[in-house]
């Protein structure tokens, strides 16, 4: 690939009590049988109640809930068995970890959001989670370990700064050296994704571009990730991708383990208008 792209990542040569049973009403005992009734009551007290106490918890739905949520204290702001007053199975209305500014950047029609959260501004380790809107809230997928650029994150990316751009970007196109695994995004299988050499920590780069999803930063959506068109100019960098992790930091891309990249490729659906939200944790909370 041409050297004007940030990829390949070569090092620069570097979430009540039980209902009471209704009373049967008073019972009048005939003279002569009251003693026998009293005996029966005593026997019941010695046998039935003791046995019943061993099964009451299984019959009481509230008791079953208490076993699933062993904490004696309800979470702050909610009732027992809820998270912040929200049933545990309900998806949150907003994506956790994103502040009002970042949420405002997400297009209203986006129904898939990949959130890449960096440890801090200057760190090159991060994590990624794919969220899908259920109609009432955002359902999270598994947390995937990820890496980003060597020097961390920036609000204003320039070619060669070795930082990943903070922001929200659409995900329109995919490709890779390996055959299409069944992606719904347009997939360009090309030998142009072959890469060699070593990364910043001396790790081999081979296989890094086996699977790639182009991040629509300074590129033309609807083209191969290999396309070199840079609408903002070459000095603003480009070739910012999601790609396979090579066990080291990147020049500007975000990398995931190969199986996670494959899972992502199979999950992303252009009909759901997928985007990536990426940056360090503090920036994304703004």
DSSP tag of 182: S
**Can you tell me the mean pLDDT for 98-110?**
97
pLDDT on residue 43:
36
Helices (H) and strands (E) in the chain, counts: 6, 13
Nearest alpha carbon to residue 170 among 218, 131, 137, 132:
218
- CA distances, 205 to each of 10, 133, 191, 243, 245 (Å): 8, 35, 15, 11, 9
pLDDT on residue 90:
74
Q: Whole-angstrom Cα distance, residue 122 to residue 281?
A: 11
* Residues 236-271: tens digit of each pLDDT: 999 999 999 999 999 999 999 999 999 999 999 999
pLDDT on residue 91:
84
Nearest alpha carbon to residue 178 among 170, 188, 168, 166:
188
Q: pLDDT > 70: what percent of the chain?
A: 69
Q: Which residue has the higher pLDDT, 30 or 177?
A: 177
DSSP tag of 157: -
Nearest alpha carbon to residue 255 among 211, 206, 191:
211
Q: Give the domains, in start order, of the chain with CATH numbers.
A: 34-87 (no CATH), 100-284 (2.40.440.10)
pLDDT on residue 214:
98
* Residues 53-79: tens digit of each pLDDT: 332 322 222 222 222 222 222 223 333
Residues with Cβ within 8 Å of residue 87, at least 6 apart in sequence: 81
Determine the 3-state secondary structure of 110 from DSSP: coil
Judged against a pLDDT cut of 80, whether residue 276 lies above it is answered with yes
Judged against a pLDDT cut of 60, whether residue 30 lies above it is answered with no
**Can you tell me the mean pLDDT for 9-26?**
34
Q: Which residue has the higher pLDDT, 176 or 26?
A: 176
Encoded tokens for 131: 């969220």
Q: Whole-angstrom Cα distance, residue 35 to residue 14?
A: 98
Determine how β-strand 275-280 pairs with β-strand 112-118.
Answer: parallel
Q: By the 8 A CB rule, do 223 and 187 touch?
A: no
Q: By the 8 A CB rule, do 1 and 239 touch?
A: yes
Encoded tokens for 129: 């989670």
Average the pLDDT over each of 22-31, 89-98, 164-173 and give the range with the smallest value: 22-31
């Amino acid at each position: 690939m041409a050297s004007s792209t940030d990829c390949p990542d070569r090092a620069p040569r570097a979430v009540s009590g039980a209902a009471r049973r209704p009373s049967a009403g008073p019972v009048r005992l005939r003279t002569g049988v009251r003693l026998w009734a009293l005996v029966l009551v005593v026997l019941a007290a010695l046998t039935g109640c003791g046995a019943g106490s061993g099964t009451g918890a299984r019959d009481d739905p509230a008791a079953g809930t208490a076993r699933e949520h062993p904490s004696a204290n309800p979470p702050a702001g909610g009732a027992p068995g809820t998270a912040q007053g929200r049933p545990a199975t309900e998806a949150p209305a907003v994506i956790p970890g994103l502040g009002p500014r970042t949420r405002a950047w997400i297009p209203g029609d986006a129904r898939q959001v990949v959130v890449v959260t960096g440890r801090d501004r200057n760190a090159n380790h991060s994590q990624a989670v794919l969220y899908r809107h259920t109609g009432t809230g955002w359902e999270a997928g598994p947390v995937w370990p990820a890496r980003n650029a060597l020097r961390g994150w920036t609000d204003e990316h320039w070619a060669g700064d070795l930082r990943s751009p903070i922001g929200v970007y659409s995900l329109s196109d995919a490709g890779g050296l390996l055959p299409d695994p069944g992606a719904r995004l347009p997939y360009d299988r090309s030998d142009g994704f072959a890469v060699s050499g070593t990364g910043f920590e001396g790790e081999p780069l081979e296989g890094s571009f086996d699977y790639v999803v182009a991040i629509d930063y300074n590129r033309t959506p609807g083209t191969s990730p290999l396309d070199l068109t840079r609408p903002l100019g070459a000095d603003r960098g480009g070739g910012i991708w999601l790609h396979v992790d090579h066990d080291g930091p990147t020049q500007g891309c975000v990398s995931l383990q190969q199986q996670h990249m494959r899972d992502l490729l199979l999950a992303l659906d252009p009909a759901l208008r997928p985007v990536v939200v990426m940056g360090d944790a503090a920036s994304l909370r703004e």
